[in-house]
Amino acid sequence: MQIRVLGCHGSQTPGCNTTSFLLNGNTLVDAGTITSLLTIEEQLKINHVLITHAHLDHVRDIMFLADNICYLQKERPLVIVATQTIIDTLKTHLFNNVVWPDFSLLPDPKNPVLKFKTIKPGEKITLDSMEVTAVLVNHIVETVSYAIESKEGSIVIIGDTGPTEEVWNVANSLHNLKAVFVETSLPNSMEDIAQMTGHLTASGLAEELKKLNTHNPQIYLYHMKLHYRESIQREIAVIKDRNIRILQDGEVIHI
């Protein structure tokens, strides 16, 4: 499995893009950064977009991607995969013919460029060569993480969340878990804001990792807010028994 990091930040500044992971060139997890980075040819290869939650830093570029593929007359529709609550939010607040056109009816209601596919929390679905399970986490709006199993191994992508439980049980049950991508948005000094906004600090991350039974997987941290990367880097140094690294925009990971 190839994981291309299009964006891995919780804020947008020059050189820092909001969250999107491109898997095997055709499946996205979150949609914070797509059209400003990928060529038209790369955009046309995307078939599925798994959404963790409806916050703008995770969905913004679906709107521009849908617009592009509508006018390029892509043959296969783009399928947005999310829970029903998240899909309802996207339909009500983004693709509502006010903020942006409803591309699930364009260019032709019988053959639209955008389709929505509901995934229930706990349900496993097959997308191309991957099996995907959505697991609820603990953010300020309904949010899921994704456990993704492939023949090369498994990964878990835990987007925005505060302290949570079930996804660690799922991670512990996966065969050949290779990597866990988990948010660490804020430094320890901002614990109060982290609690109010449903995010993890470095010490919150340390507590979460105690719930993971295996020490083998590579732990990739992401979704840092603004310029806190260096303080978070210092604060995670106290976690000695894990392979932890902070992700960079643009890197490509193979498992």
**DSSP at 77:** P
Q: Is 160 among the residues that bind Zn ion (CB under 5 A)?
A: yes
Identify which of residues 27 and 89 has a Cβ nearer to Zn ion in the complex: 89
Given the rule CB under 5 A, which of 55-63, 70-78, 90-98, 187-195 is the region that contacts Zn ion? 55-63
Identify which of residues 13 and 97 has a Cβ nearer to Zn ion in the complex: 13
Given the rule CB under 5 A, which of 20-28, 152-160, 173-181, 236-244 is the region that contacts Zn ion? 152-160
Residues 6+ apart with CB under 8 A from 122: 133, 134, 135
d(CA 21, CA 218): 16
- Residue corresponding to tokens 């049950």: 173
Q: Is 30 among the residues that bind Zn ion (CB under 5 A)?
A: no
Identify which of residues 149 and 160 has a Cβ nearer to Zn ion in the complex: 160
Tell me phi and psi for residue 106, to 5 degrees.
Answer: -120, 150
Identify which of residues 103 and 146 has a Cβ nearer to Zn ion in the complex: 146
Q: How far is the CB of 154 from Zn ion (least distance, A)?
A: 23
Long-range contacts, stretch 201-210, CB < 8 angstroms, 24+ apart? 201/235, 202/232, 202/235, 202/236, 203/235, 204/162, 204/163, 205/236, 205/239, 206/236, 206/238, 206/239, 207/163, 208/163, 208/164, 208/168, 208/182, 209/239, 209/242
Q: In what order do the strands lie in the sheet with 78-82?
A: 114-118, 78-82, 48-50, 27-29, 20-23, 2-7, 252-254
Given the rule CB under 5 A, which of 9-17, 37-45, 65-73, 77-85 is the region that contacts Zn ion? 9-17
Given the rule CB under 5 A, which of 52-60, 68-76, 78-86, 145-153 is the region that contacts Zn ion? 52-60
Q: Is 61 among the residues that bind Zn ion (CB under 5 A)?
A: no
Q: Is 48 among the residues that bind Zn ion (CB under 5 A)?
A: no
d(CA 207, CA 175): 23
Identify which of residues 55 and 60 has a Cβ nearer to Zn ion in the complex: 55
Q: How far is the CB of 110 from Zn ion (least distance, A)?
A: 35
Q: Is 55 among the residues that bind Zn ion (CB under 5 A)?
A: yes
> How many positions of this chain bind Zn ion (CB under 5 A)?
4
Q: Is 57 among the residues that bind Zn ion (CB under 5 A)?
A: yes
Query: Which residues contact Zn ion by CB under 5 A?
Result: 10, 55, 57, 160
